[in-house]
């Protein structure tokens, strides 16, 4: 995939490469990519970074772990034949949702410029009568509906937790902003998950109705988890036909 590396700052590494004194290293990029690469004897993982821009990007945003004979070793150690280099993308949390303002900002930042949104939230329509107008404004802002760029909104929720008044108002607003609203119902998902364009997702620690009332976090889902939840939804016919 990335080819054989062929030029090094260290003179001895160049000599080893020319004399075919090579080691075979397995690079595992988590999730989803495994390949082997030949390096001159005496090379470290930093030599890989220097020589290959594509690999450099992978190393720069991931934690590096080197495994030798099932034991973790110092990352600065010269590599040996058969070593495994694990590149693990660390999950970075967004700012904690400790107020209504910060919560709306996190969701708005995630949803802006989205063409489609899938919101999994069992309580998204479970709103007290006295909060209808405020909640509707919060919903419009957090989904970036008001910008008119969102074309498809799919909500997966618990059918037994629906206030018909807010449900109808959200339907009306989506129609007004020319956003196609679709729905699916299940009682088998507890977590609140927002998925943008089927390519990025965040797990939100509270329902939209709970924003600002309790401390929560919005955490980016790794691609492996995103793929899992999309398959889970597809297998149970919970996805809209558009996605």
Domains and their CATH numbers in the chain: 11-88 (3.10.20.90), 100-235 (3.30.870.30)
Tell which residue, 17, 18, 12, 19, has the closest CA to residue 40.
Answer: 17
Contact 145, 179 (CB under 8 A): yes
The per-residue pLDDT for 238 is: 96
Give the pLDDT band (50/70/90) at residue 233: very high
Element (H, E) at 117: strand 116-120
* Nearest partner of 102 among 202, 214, 193, judged by Cα: 214
Q: Say if residue 10's pLDDT is above 70.
A: no
CA dihedral 144, 145, 150, 155 (to 10 degrees): 100
Q: What is the pLDDT of residues 80-133, one digit of tens each?
A: 888 888 877 655 555 555 567 777 888 999 999 999 999 999 999 999 888 899
Mean pLDDT of 43-71: 71
**Which stretch of DSSP H or E encloses residue 27?**
strand 22-30
What confidence score (pLDDT) does residue 32 get?
Answer: 58
pLDDT tens digits for 184-224? 999 999 889 999 999 999 988 888 877 767 667 778 888 88
Residue whose entry in the numeric block shows the structure tokens 């693990």 = 88
Q: What are phi and psi of 30, to 5 degrees?
A: -95, 130
| Per-residue pLDDT at 8 | 46
The share of the chain scoring above pLDDT 90, in percent, equals 39
- Contact assessment for residue 30 and residue 48, using Cβ atoms and an 8 Å cutoff: no
Question: What residues does 34 pair with on adjacent strands?
Answer: 28
113: left (phi over 0), alpha (psi -120 to 50) or beta: left
pLDDT band, residue 180 (cuts 50/70/90)? very high
pLDDT confidence tier of residue 2, bands split at 50, 70 and 90: very low
Q: Is the pLDDT of residue 6 over 50?
A: no
Q: What is the pLDDT of residue 60?
A: 63
């Amino acid at each position: 995939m990335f080819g054989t590396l062929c030029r090094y700052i260290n003179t001895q590494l160049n000599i080893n490469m020319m004399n075919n004194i090579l080691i075979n290293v397995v690079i595992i990029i988590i999730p989803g990519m495994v390949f082997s690469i030949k390096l001159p004897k005496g090379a470290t993982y930093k030599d890989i970074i220097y020589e290959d821009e594509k690999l450099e990007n992978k190393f720069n945003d991931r934690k590096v772990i080197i495994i030798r004979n099932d034991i973790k070793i110092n990352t600065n150690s010269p590599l040996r034949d058969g070593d495994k280099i694990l590149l693990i993308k660390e999950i970075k949390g967004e700012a904690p949702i400790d107020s209504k303002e910060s919560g709306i900002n996190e969701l708005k930042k995630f949803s802006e410029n989205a063409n489609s949104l899938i919101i999994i939230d069992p309580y998204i329509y479970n709103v007290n009568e006295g909060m209808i107008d405020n909640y509707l404004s919060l919903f419009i802002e957090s989904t970036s509906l008001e910008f008119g760029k969102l074309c498809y909104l799919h909500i997966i929720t618990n059918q037994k937790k629906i206030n018909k008044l807010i449900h109808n108002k959200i339907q009306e607003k989506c129609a007004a902003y020319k956003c196609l609203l679709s729905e699916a119902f299940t009682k088998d998902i507890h977590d609140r998950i927002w998925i943008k364009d089927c390519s990025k997702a965040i797990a939100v620690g509270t329902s939209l109705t709970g924003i600002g009332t309790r401390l929560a976090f919005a955490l980016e889902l790794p691609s492996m988890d995103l793929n899992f939840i999309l398959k889970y939804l597809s297998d149970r016919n919970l996805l809209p036909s558009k996605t």
